[in-house]
Chain A
Amino acid sequence: MTALLEVTELTTRFPMAGKEVPIVDALDFEVGRGEVLALVGESGSGKSMTALSLMRLVPKPGRVASGSVRLDGEELLNLPVRAMRRVRGAGVAMIFQEPMTSLNPVMRVGEQVVEAIRLHERVGRSAALDRCRRLFEQVGIPDAAERVHAYPHQLSGGLKQRVMIAMALSARPRLLIADEPTTALDVTVQAQILRLLRDIQEETDMSILLITHDLGIVNEIADRVAVLYAGRIVETAPRTALFENPMHPYTQGLLRSMPALALSGRRLPEIPGVVPSPSDWPTGCRFASRCSKVMAVCEGVLPEFRVQGPGHDVACYALQEAASRGEKKGVQQQEGAS
């Protein structure tokens, strides 16, 4: 069986400094059925733009320039606008980072969920409102029967995010894109929302594409992880493999800079420098300027993906170099790296 979502060579461009810069640059990844894939990266790495590209909601003047996005084998990027509208919500639903501003402030929250239901299904108002109440109960909103009549400003951030999740679930999507769903919430609420997402995923067997910069969240909920750096994926691996054996220097840096209780009192190691701006991305590996293992070859062209373990792909010259060095030693040749 093929994956639920197959993304190949997805490229999204924005005009910047007189040229069209690929903010998302030839991304390849898959989300399996019932799988939670975490897309991890710093701010500016193109995570959110990837999500919006999948939904074809990239804000102007940006545009999805090329590539392919297949949901259940159906190509989304050349779908007519009307058909794409049916996919949004019913095929792929999305929740956002800012529950405070993501709900319409002058509409009752129930009304907003009812709208989502009725956009995809021919049901009456009252039937839709009943379903909205059940959805509210499902996502753990207390007093669901009354809360459907509340306005967003009358709810806490956590409750608003639950409303967003209820809205996202309303048309029974096959894939849920969660773009930093807990970033704006209190830590205790974060854990509740994550557990809710996990529970719902298990109940409905829906797939989740989780976008986050927080490796703690990844560790709690993801099955597989793709690490994004400057518009490119640098490493994909099953969660345990990534945490136990991170291979790309960037991933290693990310994990080292993760605060852990055992390290308390010591200064966290950081990755020197910042993500380069898309308008001056180098031709070679984009992490080269911040990488501790940088070599001459890194400055040339982008490294290709190599399989390094089961389901574990990494794009890094240093690893390839190490591997070939091993081979060369094996046949008794002189050591000499180019």
Chain B
Amino acid sequence: MGAYVIRRLGYGAIVVFGVLFLLFILFFTVTSPDDIARKALGERVPPAVVEQWKINHGYDKPLFPAPGQWADNMLVEHYRRMLTFDFGRSDADDTPILERIRKGMGPSLALTIPLFVLSLLVAIPLALLVAFFRETYIDRAGVILAVLAMSVSVLLYIIGAQYLVGKVLHWFPISGFDSNPQVVVRFLALPIMIGVANGLGGDIRFYRTVFLEESNTDYVRTARAKGCGEVRIMSRHVFRNSLIPLLTRIVVAIPFLFTGSLLLESFFGIPGLGAITVDAIQGNDFSVLRTMVYIGSLLFVVGQILTDLSYALVDPRVRLE
């Protein structure tokens, strides 16, 4: 198993390397070092100040390696900084990036962990229920509702809920955050509910498909033929076998709890890593953006490996070699 993990880490390194490269190319295709400087300094600064800023921040070098400049260019510098975890300071406001990540992680996790757990607790039982009543009106109604829920944009959920619950009914504040745990619950309730509602349709449909697929297998027929009741078949035979495909979706999501939620955080004013990322995109803040993308890709690789390890836990046929 050790060898297996090492090999997967090797593949992961290739993925991360590629992600960093694509990010660099894409970023500098749509924008330039001058744009970064102007975003940071404002539009009305003399060109000399912009040039000085670029020199201070290392944006004065050529983008790609060239003869005579194999080491001294932005791409190589990009890799060097990322691979040594030397994230530096934000281009936009000069704060140390590690500091911002440390501050943003708490609010992000306060949002994503309850959201993740609640989604599972709501979607899996509902999907089991719908699958249990397959081919009946309950099943059909469930699927139609799920597709409807999936078809509505998350933006509508956010704005609609902010208007209705926040502005008209005044049950919860529209947006904001507080470090006091008792107060913050009121701020987080709405984004968590919206997050659950937004994912519910797709989750239920996915889980239902998995459960139904397992319900049509030969061993389920065997269980019926030996006198198993339907509830027992669902809980002991179907559910245990369904864990294998379910884990693919669930375990892979766990590392991303750390990176927060882009949309929910920025709409609800939660100062988490998702909001930091959105601000970095809008502010041409390359140093922050690449750090967030880099961390995201590392977490992705970790998630993949965790998923494979979890297969070995639930499926006796899986051997990691």
Contacts and interface: CB of A to CB of B under 8 A. Distances in A.
B319 to A, nearest CB: 10
Contact of A107 (B224, B226, B227, B240): B240
Nearest to B240: A106
Contact of A105 (B216, B219, B227): B219
B316 A94 contact: no
Chain B interface helix/strand/loop/mixed:
helix
A106 B226 contact: no
Contact of B317 (A60, A103, A105, A168): A105
B217 interface: yes
Interface core residue of A93, A101, A102 (most chain B CB under 10 Å)? A102
B72 interface: no
B224 to A, nearest CB: 6
Given A57-B224, A98-B218, A151-B317, A104 B229 contact: no
Contacts of A151: 316-317
A103 B227 CA distance: 15
B56 interface: no
A153 B317 contact: yes
Contacts of B217: 101
Given A90-B227, A151-B317, A106 B241 contact: yes
Interface residues of A, number: 33
B223 interface: yes
B234 to A, nearest CB: 13
A334 B305 CA distance: 88
Nearest to A89: B227
B244 to A, nearest CB: 8
B316 to A, nearest CB: 4
A150 to B, nearest CB: 9
Contacts of B225: 55, 57, 88-89, 93-94, 96
B221 A57 contact: yes
Interface residues of B, number: 22
B314 A85 contact: no
Contacts of A61: 135
A153 B135 contact: no
B241 A105 contact: yes
Contacts of A96: 218, 221-222, 225
A102 B222 CA distance: 6
Contacts of B224: 55, 57, 88
A101 B241 CA distance: 13
Interface in A162-198: 164, 167-168, 170-171
Contacts of A153: 316-317
B237 interface: yes
Contacts of B226: 88-89, 93, 115-116, 119, 167-168, 170-171
Interface of B: 135, 216-219, 221-229, 236-237, 240-241, 314-317
Q: Which 5 A-B pairs have the closest CB atoms?
A: A89-B227, A101-B218, A89-B226, A104-B219, A116-B226
Interface of A: 55, 57, 59-61, 85-90, 93-94, 96, 98, 101-107, 115-116, 119-120, 151, 153, 164, 167-168, 170-171
